[in-house]
């Protein structure tokens, strides 16, 4: 993605959050300002941090709308609807940083055993989606920085999905992987 498109999306995300805090409804950008690249359909995540600590993260795994619309929706979700955090307040804006991740289409990972799964994870550090029945969860590739050990990464992903921490060892999960292009405010 071009640098000017990344800059546009980061500014769009911040403007969306600021306008909502000021009591306005969803910000609608001028169609003349939207870079062509941001009109394509891709899934995105918007992550908010304060002092390098998570403050909100909401996104979609599959593309359902244009990138710029997805960024608007996920910016509001990360700031005001992430159930792990209270809604963002105006006095937090200056200390909140925005990161946007644009996802590739998830691909099913076929693995014969947990050893090969671990090896794939260690070599590639992908974004990972696990599913079993109605339970599912994802970690963006950025989570590898916090959980660099593949076994620990998969354990916490299982717990996030509401599954037993060792479910990944049973070879009963649907595992999909994806890559992201991420960019953040300085």
Tell me if 161 is assigned to some domain: yes
**pLDDT recorded at residue 171:** 86
Mean pLDDT by 10 residues, the chain (186 residues): 97 96 84 94 97 95 96 97 96 97 96 92 97 96 96 97 95 94 94
Query: Based on the domain organization, do 11 and 63 belong to the same domain?
Result: yes
Query: Based on the domain organization, do 21 and 45 belong to the same domain?
Result: yes
**pLDDT recorded at residue 166:** 96
Strand 44-50, strand 135-139: pairing: unpaired
Tell me if 154 is assigned to some domain: yes
pTM of the model: 0.89
Per the rule left: phi > 0, alpha: psi between -120 and 50, beta: everything else, 19 is alpha
Of 40, 74, 103, which one is at a domain's C-terminal end? Answer: 103
Tell me if 184 is assigned to some domain: no
Query: Based on the domain organization, do 55 and 136 belong to the same domain?
Result: no
Tell me if 81 is assigned to some domain: yes
In SS3 terms, 108-170 reads as ECCCCCHHHHHHHHHHHCCEEEEEECCEEEEECHHHHHCCCCHHHHHHHHHHHCCCCCCHHHH
Query: Based on the domain organization, do 112 and 77 belong to the same domain?
Result: no
Q: How many separate domains does the chain show? A: 2
Tell me if 185 is assigned to some domain: no
Burial class (CB in 10 A: 0-12, 13-18, 19+), 100: buried
Query: Based on the domain organization, do 62 and 132 belong to the same domain?
Result: no
Query: Based on the domain organization, do 165 and 73 belong to the same domain?
Result: no
**pLDDT recorded at residue 94:** 95
Query: Based on the domain organization, do 138 and 61 belong to the same domain?
Result: no
Query: Based on the domain organization, do 13 and 73 belong to the same domain?
Result: yes
Closest CA to 185 of 75, 87, 66, 84: 75
Tell me if 186 is assigned to some domain: no
Closest CA to 16 of 88, 84, 73: 73
CATH number at residue 81: 3.30.700.20
Which whole-number Å values give the CA distances from 155 to 77, 111, 170, in the listed order? 26, 17, 12
> Which residue range forms the structural domain that includes residue 126?
107-179
Query: Based on the domain organization, do 7 and 75 belong to the same domain?
Result: yes
Closest CA to 6 of 186, 140, 183: 183
Query: Based on the domain organization, do 17 and 32 belong to the same domain?
Result: yes
Query: Based on the domain organization, do 98 and 145 belong to the same domain?
Result: no
CATH number at residue 121: 3.30.1490.150
**pLDDT recorded at residue 25:** 75
Of 103, 137, 168, which one is at a domain's C-terminal end? Answer: 103
Query: Based on the domain organization, do 34 and 91 belong to the same domain?
Result: yes
């Amino acid at each position: 993605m071009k640098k000017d498109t990344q800059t546009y999306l980061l500014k769009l995300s911040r403007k969306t959050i600021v306008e909502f805090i000021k009591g306005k409804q969803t910000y609608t950008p001028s169609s003349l300002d939207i870079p062509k690249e941001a009109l394509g359909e891709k899934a995105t995540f918007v992550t908010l941090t304060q002092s390098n600590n998570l403050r909100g993260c909401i996104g979609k795994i599959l593309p359902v709308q244009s990138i710029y619309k997805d960024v608007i929706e996920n910016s509001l979700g990360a700031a005001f609807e992430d159930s792990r955090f209270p809604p963002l307040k105006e006095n937090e804006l200056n200390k909140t940083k925005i990161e946007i991740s644009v996802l590739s289409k998830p691909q099913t990972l076929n693995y014969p055993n947990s050893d090969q799964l671990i090896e794939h994870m260690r070599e590639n550090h992908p974004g990972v989606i696990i599913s079993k029945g109605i339970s599912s969860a994802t970690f963006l590739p950025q989570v590898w920085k916090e959980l660099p050990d593949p076994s620990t990464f998969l354990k916490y992903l299982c717990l996030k999905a509401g599954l037993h921490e060792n479910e990944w060892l049973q070879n009963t999960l649907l595992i999909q992987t994806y890559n992201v292009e991420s960019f953040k405010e300085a």
